[in-house]
């Protein structure tokens, strides 16, 4: 029996490897996206080399990036290696392994067990947990106490467990927690079916499942607030009268698009970069350069969303565990949605596909998850000259590369925006359905100060959204330093008799531990990454500055568990010396993580940042105090930042843009 099994595995793996050679030809760059054949080969090599159980899953399969130096020195004539990084989780043994497969030699280059960590949740676990909970008498009784006897009408939404109890921490089991929502009193009847079930949380009930054993870990039922009986569907049938629609607005480019896409490389208006859709981080940019005259000048090597955290602000035990690390706990990239022209992106855009791997290691194509488009955005620059009545003005065109992602109730659109003035912008859009709490008529909002009553029997709970971006800037090369810029008002004295003097004080942040910084509106504080070995036309160091926009402080207080787990979100700016293994602000495995992983560890050796290859990490946050207008689907809220050239170009780089 065993011999037959082995023969089958080998023959499958040879079959898949056979497919690789044909496709290998089309891989033109070390940062080209993984192909289906490459993924299959990597998985078959792991399966051949290691005895995996039937329960083994692959929470993450991604391109293992080659050494930065090798990528930077790559020329089309050079041969290069392709490698795949795999995370393997043995659920029954509660063990996590990392492997790297070399695709050329078809060898498992490295294999190690990572003790005491939990990789991101995978789809089959949601299904397993739902079955386990729905069959559980305690959960059934909790539903029956609320008058629900048909359990098919309950939707269970699964969360990483967040904050653990002492007991849960001790056992180290892999857990997930389920929130129940009532899907309506006439499920199956299309007229009355409540498909927007998020407005009817079965409040007070949290089911925790041990995924290692496939058994209930705990069912907590704290009271029995009746769920909302309202129907919050938002289709035409439910809404009744619709608003009048605006007149047709067409966006078209009769002469074609200004950008060019070649493999995964895009060029537009002087910009050149590569993109990859990463199963964990989503859209990553690589090797971003800007053409200045005849020179292609490097700006950044790699830019990615490194982690998110969404802490909820209600101390009630069924709420206080909730704080989603959407990148590392749920693999944000894999949750990317298929978009449509004229909907998520304008009709003049282009939709691109990506290849992912599912938890069994099977590759699949995800169509239309990357959007690229040009858009008009007001004026780029203008001057009207009174004396001559000369009017010079240029329209502002932007290039946007985007993805959208639905993470259970919430939706995000994550945008990289290239500007003609040399600015690279990140702008994220928050939308979707807020997480609500059921409340009785009597209790209403007076007794609950942790949220706002946004609709009948529904409280929108206060929460925050934090995004951390890892920005490996290489401004005119790798040798960079980081400067902090503070604007100071000078006191009134004989040199400043009218008290109007303001000066910008620039100071260098020389070491990792001194480069943990916060915004300061009193000093219009900003930061700049400058070249350590190049000079611009006026003798200063060319730089790119981080221009923050709206931001928030992290509200959970000192000593709180979430503060320790999400340390990266407690400061806006961190700077580290480049290390290829330091990719995630909340650590490699934020699910059920120990305190202090990620950035606090990365800076612990307090390395020098002077004239080094450095990485800027920026955390931006939104404090969301819900309002009735956020319901039932929240209008888009935008948050972002810009990387703006400062002394990088010798003049406005778009001054010579034709009219
Ligand atoms: Cu929110």
Chain segment 583-635, per-residue pLDDT in tens: 999 999 999 999 999 999 999 999 999 999 999 999 999 999 999 999 999 99
For residue 644, name the pLDDT band (cuts at 50, 70, 90): very high
pLDDT at res. 184 = 76
Beta carbons of 477 and 531 less than 8 angstroms apart: yes
- Output the pLDDT for position 311: 98
Predicted local confidence at residue 189, as pLDDT: 57
pTM recorded for the entire structure: 0.94
> What would the mean pLDDT of 474-503 be, rounded to a whole number?
98
Angle, alpha carbons 626-561-162 (nearest 5°): 65
SS3 state at 145:
helix
Q: According to DSSP H, which parts of 476-635 are helical? A: 561-565, 599-602
DSSP type of residue 511: B
| Interval between CA 322 and ligand 1 midpoint (Å) | 13
In this predicted structure, what is the pLDDT of residue 13? 35
pLDDT in tens, 448-460: 689 999 998 899 9
pLDDT higher than 90, residue 142? yes
Lowest mean pLDDT among 243-247, 288-292, 309-313, 442-446: 442-446
d(CA 112, CA 125): 24
Q: How far apart, in whole angstroms, are the C-alpha atoms of residue 224 and residue 219?
A: 14
Average pLDDT over residues 524-538: 97
Ligand 1 center to 618 CA (angstroms): 19
Backbone angles phi, psi at 568, to 5 degrees: -55, -25
**Pick from 63-67, 239-243, 537-541: least confident:** 239-243
> 626: CA distance to ligand 1 center in Å?
7
- CA dist., res. 524 & res. 47, Å (int): 55
Residue 237: the pLDDT is: 83
240 confidence band (pLDDT: 50, 70, 90) = confident
Ligand 1 centroid – CA 464 distance (Å): 6
Instruction: Reply yes or no on whether the pLDDT at 580 is more than 80.
Output: yes
Kindly state the average pLDDT of the residues 224-245: 85
Question: Nearest Cα to 129, choosing from 201, 211, 206?
Answer: 211
The mean pLDDT value for 337-356 works out to 98
Ligand 1 geometric centre to CA of 336 (Å): 19
DSSP for residue 387 = T
**Active-site option among 221, 326, 411, 588:** 326
Query: How much distance in Å is there from the Cα of 310 to the middle of ligand 1?
Result: 8
Per DSSP, 592 falls in state T
107-110-115-119 Cα dihedral, nearest 10 degrees: -60
How high is the pLDDT of residue 14? 34
**Dist. CA 156–CA 171, nearest whole Å:** 25
Cα separation, 639 vs 586, whole angstroms: 20
Confidence tier at 75 by pLDDT (50, 70, 90): very high
Let me know if 547 is exposed, middle or buried by CB neighbors in 10 A (0-12, 13-18, 19+).
Answer: middle
DSSP letters spanning 105-130: TTEEEEEEEETT------HHHHHHHH
User: What is the pLDDT confidence band of residue 105, given thresholds at 50, 70 and 90?
Assistant: very high
The answer to whether residues 603 and 486 touch, using CB atoms and an 8 Å cutoff, is no
> What is residue 401's predicted lDDT score, i.e. its pLDDT?
98
Separation of CA 531 and ligand 1 centre (Å): 38
State the catalytic residue, choosing from 410, 412, 544, 602: 410
How large a percentage of the chain has pLDDT more than 70?
94
602 classed as catalytic: no
pLDDT on residue 190: 52
| Residues near ligand 1 ion, CB 5 Å cutoff | 624
The span from the CA of 182 to the CA of 205, in Å, is: 12
CA dist list (Å): 24 to 36, 109, 615: 11, 19, 32
DSSP state, 517?
A: B
Q: Phi and psi dihedrals of 168, rounded to 5?
A: -65, -40
pLDDT of residue 575: 98
What is the 565 CA–ligand 1 centroid distance (Å)?
20
Q: How far is the CA of 463 from the centre of ligand 1 (A)?
A: 6
Judge contact between 281 and 467, C-beta under 8 A.
Answer: no
For the question of residue 312 being annotated catalytic, the response is no
Residue at token pair 């993924």: 39
* Residue 192 contacts residue 148 (beta carbons within 8 Å): no
pLDDT digits (tens, 9 = 90+) for 460-479: 999 999 999 999 999 999 99
Tell me what the mean pLDDT of segment 41-63 comes to. Answer: 97
Examine the pLDDT at 562 and tell me if it is beyond 60.
Answer: yes
Cα atoms found within 13 Å of the Cα of residue 597, Cβ hemisphere only: 19
Q: Is the pLDDT of residue 16 over 90?
A: no
Q: Please state the φ and ψ torsions of residue 138, each to the nearest 5 degrees.
A: -65, -45
φ/ψ of residue 31, rounded to 5: -100, 15
pLDDT bracket for residue 252 (50, 70, 90): very high
So what's the pLDDT on residue 5? 33
Decide if pLDDT at 54 tops 80.
Answer: yes
Whether the predicted pLDDT of 488 surpasses 90: yes
Average pLDDT (62-90) is 96
575 bridge partner residues: 616
**Alpha carbon of 591 to ligand 1 centroid (Å):** 21
The reported pLDDT for the residue numbered 227 is 76
Instruction: Say if residue 548's pLDDT is above 70.
Output: yes
CA pseudo-torsion sign 7, 10, 16, 20: negative
Q: Whole-angstrom Cα distance, residue 235 to residue 632?
A: 11
Query: 563 φ, ψ to 5°?
Result: -65, -40
pLDDT digits (tens, 9 = 90+) for 503-522: 999 999 999 999 999 999 99
Nearest to 541 by CA among 486, 479, 488: 479
Q: How far is CA 653 from the centre of its chain?
A: 31
Helices 2-24 and 36-49 meet at what angle, rounded to 10?
Answer: 150
Nearest alpha-carbon partner for 644 in 633, 652, 636, 634: 652
Closest CA to 314 of 431, 408, 222: 222
pLDDT at 15 over 90: no
DSSP characters over 322-339 = -EE-TTTTTTGGGGBPPP
Confidence of residue 443 (pLDDT cuts 50, 70, 90): low
Average pLDDT over residues 331-353: 98
State residue 166's pLDDT score: 94
Q: How far is the CA of 465 from the centre of ligand 1 (A)?
A: 6
If pLDDT is split at 50, 70 and 90, which confidence band does 186 have?
low
């Amino acid at each position: 029996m065993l011999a037959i099994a082995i023969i089958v595995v080998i023959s499958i793996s040879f079959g898949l490897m056979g497919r690789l050679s044909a496709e290998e030809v089309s891989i033109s760059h070390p940062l080209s996206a993984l192909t289906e054949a490459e993924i299959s080969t990597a998985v078959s090599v792991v399966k051949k080399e290691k005895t995996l159980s039937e329960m083994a899953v692959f929470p993450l399969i991604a391109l293992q990036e080659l050494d930065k130096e090798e990528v930077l020195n790559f020329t089309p004539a050079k041969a290069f290696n392709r490698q795949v990084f795999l995370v393997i989780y043995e659920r029954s043994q509660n063990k996590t392994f990392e492997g790297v497969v070399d695709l050329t030699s078809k060898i498992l280059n490295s294999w190690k067990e990572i003790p005491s960590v939990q990789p991101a949740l995978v789809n089959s676990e949601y299904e397993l947990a739902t079955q386990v909970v729905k069959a559980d008498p305690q959960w059934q009784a909790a539903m029956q106490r609320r008058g629900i006897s048909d359990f098919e009408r309950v939707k269970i939404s699964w969360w990483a467990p967040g904050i653990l109890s002492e007991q849960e921490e001790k056992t180290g089991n892999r857990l997930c927690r389920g929130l129940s929502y009532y899907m309506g009193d006439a499920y199956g009847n299309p007229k009355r079916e409540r498909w927007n079930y998020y407005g009817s949380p079965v409040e007070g009930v949290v089911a925790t499942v041990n995924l290692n054993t496939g058994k209930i870990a705990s069912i907590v039922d704290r009271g029995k607030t009746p769920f909302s009986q309202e129907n919050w569907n938002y289709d035409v049938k439910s809404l009744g009268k619709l608003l009048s629609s605006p007149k047709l607005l067409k966006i078209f480019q009769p002469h074609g698009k200004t950008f060019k896409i070649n493999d995964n490389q895009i060029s537009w208006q002087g910009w050149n970069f590569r993109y990859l859709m990463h199963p964990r981080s989503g859209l990553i940019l690589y090797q971003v350069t800007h053409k200045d005259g005849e020179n292609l000048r490097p700006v950044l090597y790699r830019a990615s969303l490194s982690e998110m955290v969404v802490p909820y602000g209600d101390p009630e035990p069924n709420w206080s565990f909730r704080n989603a690390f959407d990148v590392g706990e749920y693999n944000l990239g894999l949750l990317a949605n298929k978009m449509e022209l004229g909907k998520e992106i304008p009709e003049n855009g282009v939709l691109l596909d990506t290849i992912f791997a599912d938890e069994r290691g099977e590759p699949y194509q995800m169509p239309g998850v990357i959007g690229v488009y040009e858009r008009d955005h007001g004026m780029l620059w203008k001057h009207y000259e009174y004396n001559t009545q000369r009017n010079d003005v240029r329209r502002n065109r932007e290039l946007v590369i985007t993805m959208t992602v639905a993470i259970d109730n919430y939706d995000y659109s994550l945008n990289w925006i290239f500007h003609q003035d040399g600015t690279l912008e990140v702008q994220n859009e928050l939308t979707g359905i807020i997480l609500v709490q059921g409340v009785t008529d009597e209790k209403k909002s007076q007794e609950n100060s942790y949220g706002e009553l946004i609709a009948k029997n529904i409280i929108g709970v206060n929460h925050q959204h934090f995004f951390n971006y890892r920005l490996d800037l290489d401004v005119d090369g790798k040798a960079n330093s980081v400067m902090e810029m503070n604007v100071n008002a000078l006191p009134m004295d004989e040199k400043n008799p009218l008290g109007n003097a303001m000066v910008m004080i620039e100071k260098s942040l020389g070491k990792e531990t001194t480069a943990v910084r916060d915004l300061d509106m009193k000093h219009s504080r900003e930061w700049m990454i400058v070249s350590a070995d190049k000079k611009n036309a006026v003798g200063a160091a060319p730089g790119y500055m981080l221009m923050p926009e709206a931001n928030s402080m992290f509200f959970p207080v000192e000593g709180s568990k979430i503060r320790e787990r999400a340390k990266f979100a407690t400061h806006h700016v961190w700077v580290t010396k480049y290390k290829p293994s330091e990719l995630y602000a909340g650590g490699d495995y934020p699910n059920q993580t120990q305190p202090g992983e990620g950035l606090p560890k990365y800076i612990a050796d307090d390395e020098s940042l002077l004239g080094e290859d450095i990485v800027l990490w920026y955390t931006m946050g939104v404090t969301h105090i819900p309002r009735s207008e956020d319901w039932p689907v929240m209008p888009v809220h935008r948050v972002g930042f810009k990387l703006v050239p400062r002394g990088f170009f010798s003049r406005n780089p778009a001054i010579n843009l034709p009219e």
